Amino acid sequence: MSNPDTHTAEHRSWQWDLVLQYEEGSLPAKSWNEATLAVVAAWYANNQPAAQASERYATYYHRNRKRLLNRLDGASVDQAAIDAVDAVWESLLARVLPRAAEG
């Protein structure tokens, strides 16, 4: 039986599933939006030290962005969605890091 206050419980959450997709590069193109990145940023802020959260968030952001811009087999690239996320991605983590430190 798992304790809800353990590392195991956090890894069973839907947020963790989203973070895994983000880090593995398996996040569907249709999920590349501000709401998804806000969930990922909040998970990092609440579960990682600030420096590590910032590093991981940025590293995987750039990997996903590159993957989505260079899709294979004639798959369409939603440039508007990519541009919209480009405009806000850094601010998403900056907003949640101070709240995570307080809580």
Task: Write out pLDDT tens, residues 56-97.
Answer: 999 999 999 888 888 766 667 678 888 888 888 889 888 888
16 falls within a domain: no
2 falls within a domain: no
- Domain carrying residue 62: 22-70+77-102
Residue 1 pLDDT class (50, 70, 90 cuts): very low
1 falls within a domain: no
Selection from 53, 42, 45, 24 nearest residue 101 by Cα: 45
Number of domains in the chain: 1
Distance CA(45)–CA(56), nearest Å, equals 11
8 falls within a domain: no
- Residues 71/27, Cβ–Cβ less than 8 Å: no
11 falls within a domain: no
- Residues 84/33, Cβ–Cβ less than 8 Å: yes
14 falls within a domain: no
64 falls within a domain: yes
Instruction: Centre a 10 Å sphere on the Cβ of residue 71 and count the other Cβ atoms it contains.
Output: 12
92 falls within a domain: yes
Biggest alpha carbon–alpha carbon distance for the chain: 47
| Segment (H or E) for 39 | helix 34-47
